[in-house]
Structure 1
Amino acid sequence: MAKEEKDRVETSILPLKYVDLVEDIFHAVLAIALFAIGVGAFFFSIKRLLETAPFFPNGMIQGVNDILFIVIILEILRTVISRFTDGVYQLDKFLIIGVIAAVRHILTVGASLTLESGKSDTAFERAIYEMGLNALIVVALVFAIFMSKSAHRKAK
């Protein structure tokens, strides 16, 4: 193992420690940018929530949608930060982000179906297909999370 690492360092153009340092700096900049985006999205969501009329149901639905978007940003931030501690990206975190995104889309489509009474039959069918497809995506991602956790337990 030590010989492989030595060979890898000797054959690379740049020393590996500098490549790792640049990568860490880049991940730190990304983490700061994601945090700033999350904070900005939070304040924009509060502003929009206060300005949306009527508050019920439009404001509430938009608020839930915005909160789930902020949760997605924070989960991505957590994934980038865990890259520093673990040294690798973790599959489970990306699967969880996918579940949150799919559920967010289901809620958005469901809310639009509830609020818009004058939808054409084609638009209604498309919305139902979208909700069904996203529900299947959620089931598949939850199954993938289960399989990933089972693999981690067996490896230990």
Structure 2
Amino acid sequence: MKKDTTPKDQQVETSILPIKYVDLIEDVFHAVLALALLGIGIGAFIFSIKRLIETDPFFPNGMIQGVNDILFIVIILEILRTVISRFTDGVYQLDKFLIIGVIAAVRHILTVGASLTLESGKSDEAFDRSIYEMGLNALIVVALVFAFFLSKSALRNSQR
């Protein structure tokens, strides 16, 4: 098999659409996605404030719901940041997805823990299931943090 020794800038494109048009379409699509995520984040914030004001009693139900909503908005904003970094850097960054996963798992742990605290009349089966959910999510957090650590270590080692 003969190796292509033509300089990269002189190679002929063989795709249907030129790469510059594909990149432009991709950039426009990422911009639209970023705007949609921003709109979703703003809508979620407005809905959360409205629900926080209307929740009765405010303590503890409103406060727990408020923390849950805020963490959901943080997840949306982290996804938005990931799309923007893809738009500007040209690559998805693993670290950002790991952070989103950690936030989502912690949010679920807090939600399940709050429901255990507020609902005193749970059956033994429902209580056991909630405890298993919290334990599984705790393991997920540990695994994602470990993956984040490995990712950072690999990056540091590759820069040497």
Q: TM-score, normalised by structure 1?
A: 0.96
Indicate which of 68, 74, 77 corresponds to 2:71: 68
Tell me, what secondary structure is at the counterpart of 1:145?
Answer: helix
The reply on whether 1:150 has 2:144 as its aligned counterpart is no
Counterpart-to-counterpart distance in 2, 1:61 and 1:6: 61
> Equivalent pairs: percent with the same residue?
83
DSSP 3-state at the match of 2:13: helix
Q: Which amino acid aligns with 1:85?
A: T
Inter-partner Cα distance in structure 1 for 2:149 and 2:80: 23
1:1-156 mapped onto 2 (5 Å cutoff)? 3-4=7-8, 7=11, 10-156=13-159
Amino acid at match of 2:80: L
Query: Which whole-Å deviations, capped at 9, do the CAs of 1:59-87 have from their partners, x for residues lacking one?
Result: 00000000000000000000000012211
Q: Secondary structure at the match of 2:77?
A: helix
**Richer in helix (by share):** 1
CA distance in 2, matches of 1:3, 1:104: 52
Which runs of no fewer than 5 residues in structure 2 stay unpaired? none
Q: Which has the larger radius of gyration?
A: 2
- Matched residue count: 155
- What secondary structure, in the 3-state scheme, does the structure 2 residue paired with 1:11 have? coil
144 and 2 in structure 1: CA distance in 2 versus 1, 3 angstrom threshold: farther
Q: 1:6 to 1:134 in 2, by over 3 A?
A: farther
- Unpaired segments ≥5 residues, structure 1: none
Which ranges of 4 or more aligned residues in structure 1 deviate by more than 6 Å? none
